[in-house]
Amino acid sequence: MSLIGNLSDVAFGDVLRLFAASGKTGLLTASATGRQTLIRIQHGAVVHATAGRLQGDDAILDLFGWKEGQLAFVPEEKVIEPNVTLGVDVLILEGVRTGESFHRMNELIPHERVMFQTAQGPDADKRFLLGAAEWGVLRLVDSVRDVRDVLDESRQTRPDVLRILFELTEAGLLEPVDAQKTLRAQPQGRFGKEAAELDDRLEAEWRLMERFAAGVLRVEVRNLARKGRRLAVLFRAGLGREVNLPRPTFAELGLREGEDVFVRPVA
């Protein structure tokens, strides 16, 4: 493996131009704390890229927004199904034009479980035009729906919804909230109440959100397949990352003891 340099010192577009000019074939890796992008190059052309949930062109464009990251290259002949559709010159043009904002958007929304709430609004001297598409997303933001819910209900494309959420946040109209928690599900005892039991520190955290300042009375518990059940909630000390669920709910959601579930306040 040969080290090429760091993205803090080397422009990623220049790296792509170098490989295109030299006609090299192999694996280019960009690594930074908590993230990695793998790029397959064949005879100087970028043919395949992956970076977690980002694939193809998106994985490449995101790299143009990295402020740092170690680049390394391994010569390697490997046949792989292409997922990059743009040529090197177009990738560089688009990366320079949109890469930085695209990367900021991906950092703001790393997955579809992110939730948003309305923020204070833009500064007095700033204006933001709300069209029909923007309003269609903004009206769904309620500190309860996550990005996946907004996607399902807005009937807009995923790229458009993510872009609108990002632009509304940058404009000061929205802000992300860490409302949805990943907890370990445990069944209650034989005489458990028909309510979810959660650590009281979660209530204190949720009450910092404007919508739940008066307290949380109900939560929704979802399994990994997003099948959900809304329940009354009781808070008590010492539960940590566990949520105790009534046995009928445990069975309805098809859970196993200790399995991760998503829990969010709903009322």
User: What's the 3-state SS for 166-192?
Assistant: HHHHHCCCEEEECCCEEEEEEECCCCC
Q: Do 72 and 9 sit in the same domain of this protein?
A: yes
pTM for this model (two decimals):
0.83
Q: Which domain holds residue 233?
A: 181-265
User: What is the rounded end-to-end Cα distance, in angstroms, of the chain?
Assistant: 54
Task: Kindly state whether residue 156 falls inside one of the protein's structural domains.
Answer: yes
Task: Kindly state whether residue 110 falls inside one of the protein's structural domains.
Answer: no
Q: Give the model's pLDDT for residue 205.
A: 93
How far is Cα 205 from Cα 231, in angstroms, rounded to an integer?
19
- Please report where in the chains the tokens 């948003």 appear, as a residue: 116
Q: Give the model's pLDDT for residue 83.
A: 96
One pLDDT digit (tens) per residue for the chain, 267 residues = 576 889 999 899 999 999 999 998 999 999 998 899 999 999 999 999 999 999 999 999 999 999 999 999 999 888 889 999 999 999 999 999 999 999 999 999 999 999 999 988 776 677 778 899 999 999 999 999 999 999 999 999 999 999 999 999 999 999 999 999 999 999 997 766 789 999 999 999 999 998 999 999 999 999 999 999 999 999 999 999 999 999 999 999 999 999 999 999 998
φ, ψ of residue 101 to 5 degrees: the values are -70, -35
Q: Give the model's pLDDT for residue 1.
A: 54
Q: Do 204 and 147 sit in the same domain of this protein?
A: no
Q: In three state form, how does the secondary structure of 206-258 look?
A: HCCCHHHCCCCCEEEEECCCCCEEEEEEEEECCCCCEEEECHHHHHHCCCCCC
Q: What is the CATH number of the domain that holds 194?
A: 2.40.40.20
Please give the radius of gyration of the chain, using alpha carbons only, rounded to the nearest integer.
Answer: 23
246 in Cβ contact with 230 (< 8 Å): no
Task: Kindly state whether residue 19 falls inside one of the protein's structural domains.
Answer: yes
Q: Do 64 and 28 sit in the same domain of this protein?
A: yes
Q: Report in angstroms the alpha-carbon separations of 45 from 5, 78, 91, 160.
A: 20, 14, 11, 29
Q: Give the model's pLDDT for residue 189.
A: 79
Q: Give the model's pLDDT for residue 128.
A: 76
166 in Cβ contact with 150 (< 8 Å): no
Task: Kindly state whether residue 54 falls inside one of the protein's structural domains.
Answer: yes
Q: Do 246 and 207 sit in the same domain of this protein?
A: yes
Q: Do 157 and 190 sit in the same domain of this protein?
A: no
Q: Do 172 and 206 sit in the same domain of this protein?
A: no
Q: Which residues pair with 240 in a beta bridge?
A: none
Read off the tokens for 115: 């939730």
Task: Kindly state whether residue 109 falls inside one of the protein's structural domains.
Answer: no
How far is Cα 105 from Cα 41, in angstroms, rounded to an integer?
26
Among residues 97, 125, 140, which one ends one of the domains? 97
Among residues 40, 68, 97, which one ends one of the domains? 97
Q: Do 200 and 260 sit in the same domain of this protein?
A: yes
Q: Do 196 and 168 sit in the same domain of this protein?
A: no
Among residues 48, 68, 97, which one ends one of the domains? 97
- Please report where in the chains the tokens 């650590």 appear, as a residue: 199
The 3-state DSSP class for residue 197 equals strand
Q: Give the model's pLDDT for residue 190.
A: 74
Task: Kindly state whether residue 29 falls inside one of the protein's structural domains.
Answer: yes
Q: Do 75 and 125 sit in the same domain of this protein?
A: no
Choose among 202, 216, 198, 229: nearest CA to 265. Answer: 216
- As for how many domains the chain has, the answer is 3
Q: Do 235 and 260 sit in the same domain of this protein?
A: yes
How far is Cα 47 from Cα 58, in angstroms, rounded to an integer?
13
Task: Kindly state whether residue 237 falls inside one of the protein's structural domains.
Answer: yes
Length, in residues, of the chain: 267
Q: Do 129 and 203 sit in the same domain of this protein?
A: no
Q: Give the model's pLDDT for residue 129.
A: 80
81 in Cβ contact with 49 (< 8 Å): no
Q: Give the model's pLDDT for residue 192.
A: 67
Q: Give the model's pLDDT for residue 127.
A: 74
Task: Kindly state whether residue 16 falls inside one of the protein's structural domains.
Answer: yes
φ, ψ of residue 127 to 5 degrees: the values are -130, 145
Close Cβ partners of 225 (under 8 Å, ≥ 6 residues apart): none
Q: Do 171 and 189 sit in the same domain of this protein?
A: no
